[in-house]
């Protein structure tokens, strides 16, 4: 027997294997063993369809013929019977048909399915239908039919599925529909009244009358019918028909987007009802026995109404899984309304007027609720009403009026994964320190009034995202994420803490916090308005505030001075002499760049600086600069060593009386004028000493400079450099004077740039330096004045060394002579 079936199926397949003679039509094997599907598309005439298929197929094979997007104006000339095959399904869509002639359909007694929708028919082709008495399904949807008259379906009394949606039907004659109908689709028409046309359809199981203008169903539906599905949404219904109380077979009812004010208890006996969609109505009241026998309802959608209380109406619905009461007028909700609903998965109570949540004295441990929506209400306290929901995974309390969380509000929520507290008035999350939420992955607390974070994440071991944007957070404890390591489906990840628009995003201490969080597998995210760059704050901060040096402040005396030009003002990155830019250290108001250990400076108390006139538009600032020098016990080694040193400039945000600066630090020593940046880790502690200025003590300490080979004595009126014996060279002085004349012209042009431009990311005030005149020694040799950076000045018995005396190649563009040098 199996071989016979295979042989027959193989023969049917051979009919569609290669059939060039039916071109342009195509052939496919149908789902059944003796069925073939023919598809003819974009033919120029009906005559071409007949010629292509006539006598080409086995007469015993059942044919499903589809003709689409073709020109069939000549249908009256030929008939489907001319094709000489067994036609049982006929589809003629998208052909622009305005009417169907009778002749082509004669003899189609075996056709059980006819689709002539998606055309331009303005009336039902009753003459063509009369030749297909076996028709079971008729689709005339998406046409221009205006009325259904009594004689339209007289010839197809066995039809069970009648599809008439998306037409322009306004008229329905009583008795026009066959009594055999099981499915009737009249949706998306212009029907205002059913006119009793459905009252006798006792076999009807599915009725679609959606998207019409029907306002009343009283007396329209068959009494005691077998109706299982009613789609009556998007109408103007003000009440449900009374005879629905006897529709025990009803399973699905869609009546949303109507004007219903009450169910009038007509559903209390619907023992098979499983889905009720009634949102966007005007329902105000639910009777206590509204769903008395509806224990099979799984989906109940009653959102966008005016319901004020559930009135314990849900208690009989023991199989309820999804319930939506959002956008109603509920003012108080008790968890006792859910008692016994052991199948409830999702409950939405958002956008109501709930002010109080009441706990269920019998407990909620029996509930398996997975998602609870309570956002957009007026809740000011949880009162522990939700504690014990051990299966809850999503809890939304956004846009309420919560000011405080109480210890125990979230107890027992072992499976909670998402907690949304956005848009409340919370000032802290401290009560959560004692609450264990072992599966919480996402915490949303944006738009609150939180000012600090301490150990609030202590009970959140697998948290992966914390949204804390738009709060008032200015302090974050280093212990915040000590017990938190992000895990998603047991896969380790990084905790993302979003802090946009919080005060801490402008705090320099965030730089160290970013590093600390990174060590603990957490990351601070967010963009700060304090920075121009549109980058993540933990990406920008290390470039602006890079702390590489430990700093000890011991003695600082400030001396007013004048900066030469804007091009030398590069805070917060400080330019050094002969060296590239280095990231500075910011401690309080001092900026000191990290320097590799090489030279040790001693401190001195300098004499008062020379007063010079300052331009009126220049701000009266103070700056501190340090000129490193080296010491050596051998004078002979000094004459054979050549190196370039680095001048470190420090700025201070102080505007007081002139004071002096003494800094003990280390400076790099190189054997060439290298332009490489020192490694950040090659640093030593920087010691800065704070002292009061002593203007009455002009003494200097002596410091021998092994590399410069000379002694520089700074006095009140002049600065003289005495070269060591054996190093004087007349040619050297001549070359030096020549260079000085060239630089003088350039410096005089730069004197106009006395105004100091401030950078956007400044953290201190920037201070101009004093200008000191050049000094001519006894040999008429011009000794360059101290550099623009204030030299470290020593006790009166010591001699200081000038960088420019021995090394003419050192940067001297900072020199600003008061008068032209003498020839």
Question: Which of 408, 449, 412 is CA-nearest to residue 431?
Answer: 408
Q: What HEC string does 148-185 produce?
A: ECCCCCCCCCCCCEEECCCCCCCEECCCCCCCCCCEEE
What pLDDT score does 15 carry? 58
Residue 218 has pLDDT above 70, yes or no: yes
**Long-range Cβ contacts of 286-291 (<8 Å, 24+ apart):** 286/310, 286/311, 286/313, 287/263, 287/311, 287/313, 288/312, 288/313, 289/265, 289/313, 289/316, 290/263, 290/265, 291/267, 291/316, 291/317
Q: How confident is the model at residue 79 (pLDDT cuts 50, 70, 90)?
A: very high
Q: Is residue 822 in some structural domain?
A: yes
What pLDDT score does 631 carry? 38
Contact 447, 429 (CB under 8 A): no
What pLDDT score does 814 carry? 41
User: From its phi and psi, is residue 312 left (phi > 0), alpha (psi between -120 and 50) or beta?
Assistant: left
The residue ranking higher by pLDDT, 493 or 4, is: 493
- The span from the CA of 308 to the CA of 352, in Å, is 9
Cα–Cα distance list, 195 to 198, 199, 255 (Å):
8, 9, 20
What pLDDT score does 545 carry? 52
Peptide bond into 300 cis (omega under 30): no
Q: How confident is the model at residue 223 (pLDDT cuts 50, 70, 90)?
A: confident
What pLDDT score does 320 carry? 97
Q: How confident is the model at residue 478 (pLDDT cuts 50, 70, 90)?
A: confident
- Per DSSP, the residues of 3-28 read HHHHHHHHHHHHHTTS-GGGTTSEEE
- The span from the CA of 344 to the CA of 587, in Å, is 59
Number of domains the chain contains: 1
Q: Is residue 454 in some structural domain?
A: no
Q: What is the pLDDT of residues 295-348, one digit of tens each?
A: 999 999 999 999 999 999 999 999 999 999 999 999 999 999 999 999 999 999
Residue 197 has pLDDT above 70, yes or no: yes
The residue ranking higher by pLDDT, 642 or 137, is: 137
CB neighbours (10 Å) of residue 201? 21
Percent of the chain with pLDDT over 70: 64
119 in helix, strand or coil?
coil
Residue 587 has pLDDT above 80, yes or no: no
**Considering the chain, what is the average pLDDT of its residues?**
75
What pLDDT score does 309 carry? 95
Could you identify the residue written with the tokens 């959140």?
A: 460
What pLDDT score does 751 carry? 53
Q: Is residue 792 in some structural domain?
A: yes
Q: How confident is the model at residue 238 (pLDDT cuts 50, 70, 90)?
A: very high
What pLDDT score does 757 carry? 39
The residue ranking higher by pLDDT, 742 or 730, is: 742
Percent of the chain with pLDDT over 90: 53
Name the β-bridge partners of 371: 346, 394
Instruction: For residues 258-271, give the mean pLDDT.
Output: 94
| DSSP character at residue 716 | S
The answer to which of 107-116, 436-445, 689-698, 753-762 has the lowest mean pLDDT is 753-762
Residue 465's H or E segment, with its range, is strand 465-467
What pLDDT score does 784 carry? 43
What pLDDT score does 424 carry? 97
Q: Pairing state of beta strands 322-324 and 332-334?
A: unpaired
Q: Is residue 573 in some structural domain?
A: yes
Q: What is the pLDDT of residues 736-764, one digit of tens each?
A: 777 777 777 766 665 544 433 333 333 33
Residue 685 has pLDDT above 60, yes or no: no
Instruction: For residues 13-19, give the mean pLDDT.
Output: 56
What pLDDT score does 533 carry? 57
Q: What is the pLDDT of residues 442-471, one digit of tens each?
A: 999 999 999 999 999 999 999 999 999 999
The residue ranking higher by pLDDT, 307 or 693, is: 307
Residue 366 has pLDDT above 70, yes or no: yes
The residue ranking higher by pLDDT, 633 or 254, is: 254
Q: How confident is the model at residue 506 (pLDDT cuts 50, 70, 90)?
A: confident
What pLDDT score does 741 carry? 76
Instruction: For residues 391-420, give the mean pLDDT.
Output: 95
CB neighbours (10 Å) of residue 238? 15
Contact 495, 470 (CB under 8 A): no
Q: Is residue 523 in some structural domain?
A: no
Q: How confident is the model at residue 418 (pLDDT cuts 50, 70, 90)?
A: very high
Contact 810, 804 (CB under 8 A): yes
Question: Which of 131, 79, 129 is CA-nearest to residue 104?
Answer: 79
**Token pair in block for residue 391:** 């299966």
What pLDDT score does 352 carry? 97
Q: What is the pLDDT of residues 610-646, one digit of tens each?
A: 444 444 443 434 334 333 433 333 333 433 333 333 3
Instruction: For residues 780-804, give the mean pLDDT.
Output: 40
What pLDDT score does 231 carry? 97
Q: Is residue 685 in some structural domain?
A: yes
What pLDDT score does 726 carry? 45
Which residues have C-beta within 8 Å of that of residue 174, sequence separation ≥ 6?
Answer: 150, 195, 196, 197, 199
653, 659, 663, 669 alpha-carbon torsion, rounded to 10°: 90
Residue 42 has pLDDT above 70, yes or no: yes
Q: Is residue 669 in some structural domain?
A: yes
Contact 384, 361 (CB under 8 A): no
Q: Is residue 768 in some structural domain?
A: yes
The residue ranking higher by pLDDT, 184 or 60, is: 184
Q: How confident is the model at residue 129 (pLDDT cuts 50, 70, 90)?
A: very high
What pLDDT score does 601 carry? 37
Q: What HEC string does 249-270 produce?
A: CCCEEECCCCCCCCCCCCCCCC
Range of the domain at 641: 550-823
């Amino acid at each position: 027997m199996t071989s016979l079936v295979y042989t027959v199926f193989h023969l049917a397949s051979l009919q569609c294997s290669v059939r060039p003679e039916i071109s342009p039509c195509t052939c496919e094997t149908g789902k059944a063993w003796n069925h073939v599907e023919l598809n003819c598309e974009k033919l120029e005439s009906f005559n071409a369809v007949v010629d292509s298929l006539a006598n080409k197929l086995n007469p015993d094979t059942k044919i499903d013929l589809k003709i689409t997007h073709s020109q069939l104006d000549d249908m009256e000339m030929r008939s489907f019977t001319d094709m000489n095959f067994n036609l049982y399904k006929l589809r003629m869509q998208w052909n622009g048909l305005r009417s169907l002639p009778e002749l082509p359909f004669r003899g189609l007694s075996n056709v059980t399915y006819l689709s002539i929708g998606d055309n331009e028919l303005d009336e039902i082709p009753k003459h063509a239908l009369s030749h297909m008495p076996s028709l079971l399904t008729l689709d005339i949807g998406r046409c221009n039919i205006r009325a259904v008259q009594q004689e339209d379906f007289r010839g197809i009394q066995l039809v069970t599925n009648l599809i008439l949606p998306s037409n322009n039907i306004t008229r329905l004659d009583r008795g026009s529909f066959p009594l055999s109908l099981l499915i009737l689709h009249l949706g998306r028409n212009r029907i205002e009244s059913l006119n009793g046309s459905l009252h006798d359809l006792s076999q009807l199981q599915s009725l679609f009358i959606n998207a019409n203008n029907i306002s009343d169903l009283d007396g329209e539906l068959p009494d005691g019918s077998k109706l299982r599905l009613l789609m009556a949404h998007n109408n103007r219904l003000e009440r449900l028909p009374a005879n629905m109380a006897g529709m025990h077979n009803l399973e699905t009812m869609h009546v949303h987007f109507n004007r219903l004010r009450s169910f009038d208890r007509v559903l209390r006996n619907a023992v098979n009802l499983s889905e009720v969609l009634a949102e966007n109505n005007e329902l105000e009241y639910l009777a206590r026995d509204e769903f008395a026998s509806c224990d099979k309802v799984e989906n109940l959608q009653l959102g966008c109404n005016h319901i004020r209380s559930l009135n314990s109406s849900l208690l009989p619905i023991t199989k309820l899984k999804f319930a939506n009461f959002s956008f109603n007028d509920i003012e108080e909700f008790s968890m006792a309304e859910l008692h016994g609903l052991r199948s409830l998965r999702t409950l939405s109570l958002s956008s109501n007027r709930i002010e109080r949540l009441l706990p269920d004295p019998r407990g909620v441990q029996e509930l398996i609720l997975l998602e609870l929506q309570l956002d957009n209400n007026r809740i000011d306290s949880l009162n522990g009403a939700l504690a014990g929901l051990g299966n809850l995974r999503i809890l939304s309390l956004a846009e309420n009026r919560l000011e405080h969380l109480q210890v125990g509000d979230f107890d027992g929520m072992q499976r909670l994964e998402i907690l949304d507290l956005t848009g409340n008035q919370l000032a802290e999350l401290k009560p959560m320190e004692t609450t264990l939420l072992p599966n919480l992955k996402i915490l949303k607390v944006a738009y609150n009034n939180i000012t600090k974070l301490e150990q609030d994440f202590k009970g959140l071991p697998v948290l992966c995202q914390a949204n804390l944007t738009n709060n008032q957070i200015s302090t974050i404890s280093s212990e915040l994420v000590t017990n938190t390591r992000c895990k998603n489906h047991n896969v380790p990840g990084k905790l993302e803490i979003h802090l946009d628009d919080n005060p801490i995003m402008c705090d320099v201490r965030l730089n160290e916090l970013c590093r600390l969080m990174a060590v603990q597998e957490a990351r601070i995210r967010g963009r700060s308005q304090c920075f121009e760059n549109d980058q993540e704050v933990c990406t920008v901060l290390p470039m602006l505030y890079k702390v590489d040096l430990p700093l000890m402040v011991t003695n600082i005396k400030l001396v007013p001075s004048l900066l030469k030009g804007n091009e030398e003002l590069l805070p917060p990155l400080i330019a050094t002499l002969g060296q590239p830019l280095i990231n500075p250290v910011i401690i309080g108001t001092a900026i000191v760049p990290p320097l590799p250990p090489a030279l040790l400076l001693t401190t001195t108390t300098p004499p008062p600086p020379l007063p010079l006139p300052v331009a009126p538009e220049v701000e009266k600032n103070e700056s501190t600069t340090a000129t490193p020098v080296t010491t050596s016990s051998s004078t002979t080694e000094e004459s054979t060593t050549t190196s370039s040193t680095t001048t470190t400039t420090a700025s201070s945000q102080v505007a007081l009386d002139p004071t002096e600066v003494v800094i003990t630090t280390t400076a790099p020593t190189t054997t060439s004028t290298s332009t490489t940046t020192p490694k950040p880790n090659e640093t030593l502690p920087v010691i800065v000493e704070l002292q009061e200025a002593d203007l009455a003590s002009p003494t200097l300490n002596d410091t021998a400079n092994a590399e410069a080979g000379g002694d520089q004595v700074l006095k009140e009126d002049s600065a003289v450099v005495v070269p060591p014996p054996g190093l004087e060279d007349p040619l050297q002085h001549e070359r030096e004077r020549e260079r000085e004349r060239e630089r003088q012209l350039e410096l005089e042009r730069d004197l106009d740039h006395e105004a100091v431009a401030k950078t956007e990311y400044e953290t201190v005030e920037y201070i101009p330096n004093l200008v000191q005149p050049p000094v001519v020694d006894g040999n008429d040799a011009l000794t360059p004045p101290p550099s623009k950076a204030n030299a470290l000045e020593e006790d009166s018995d010591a001699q200081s060394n000038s960088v420019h005396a021995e090394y003419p190649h050192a940067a001297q563009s900072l020199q600003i002579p008061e008068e032209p040098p003498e020839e």
